[in-house]
């Protein structure tokens, strides 16, 4: 009898702690090492992360890398992507995942990036390399949409931060 009562009490506490409201988190994602043709390196690709949840259900996840041509990971850009990159004041690579586009979609994210002064760019070559990284499966990057975002010079907004504000969620801001 005590055993059953203990299980019921544990279940009640578990249900009581379940969050049923919209919440946001920020964090970091790190990929170690890379390969391009016959070259390999041990550098790390450090990315900022923003996530939007309803309770424990992930609605949208976004990962940001402030791209740098001096990074060995820049080798993954095609010559056309690199040429476009040089025309930007700031160039971001994002990986976005939308669990339910009816709640938060890639279009919603792109609109928020435009409000930050960024125009979207397709990165087919970089995307292929990123999704082929050995750690990509740990982060399930095969399910993410990889995009580039260019803030042209001179920028319309004088901030190094990216702010995202989806309706019903707390305003999130990360420093790049």
Domain boundaries, the chain: 20-175
pLDDT value at 159 more than 90:
no
Render pLDDT for 100-146 as a digit per residue (tens, 0 to 9). Answer: 899 999 999 999 999 999 999 999 998 888 888 776 656 677 789 99
Average pLDDT over residues 21-32: 90
Average pLDDT over residues 13-32: 75
pLDDT value at 18 more than 70:
no
pLDDT value at 71 more than 70:
yes
Q: Which of 14, 41, 59, 30 is nearest to 135 (CA)?
A: 30
- pTM of the predicted structure, to 2 decimals: 0.81
The answer to whether the CB of 164 falls within 8 A of the CB of 50 is yes
């Amino acid at each position: 009898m005590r055993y059953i009562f203990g299980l019921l009490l544990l279940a009640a506490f578990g249900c009581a702690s379940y969050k049923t409201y919209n919440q946001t988190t920020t964090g970091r994602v790190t990929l170690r090492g890379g390969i391009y043709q016959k070259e390999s390196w041990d550098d790390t690709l450090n990315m900022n992360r923003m996530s939007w949840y309803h309770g424990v259900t992930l609605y949208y996840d976004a990962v940001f890398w402030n791209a740098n041509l001096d990074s060995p990971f820049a080798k993954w850009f095609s010559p056309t992507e690199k040429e476009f990159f040089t025309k930007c004041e700031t160039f971001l690579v994002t990986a976005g995942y939308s669990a339910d586009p009816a709640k938060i979609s890639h279009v919603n994210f792109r609109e928020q990036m435009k409000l930050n002064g960024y125009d979207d760019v397709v990165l087919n070559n970089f995307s292929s390399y990123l999704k082929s990284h050995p750690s990509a499966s740990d982060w399930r990057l095969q399910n993410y949409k990889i995009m580039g975002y260019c803030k042209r010079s001179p920028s319309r907004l004088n901030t190094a931060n990216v702010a995202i504000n989806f309706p019903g969620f707390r305003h999130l801001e990360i420093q790049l």
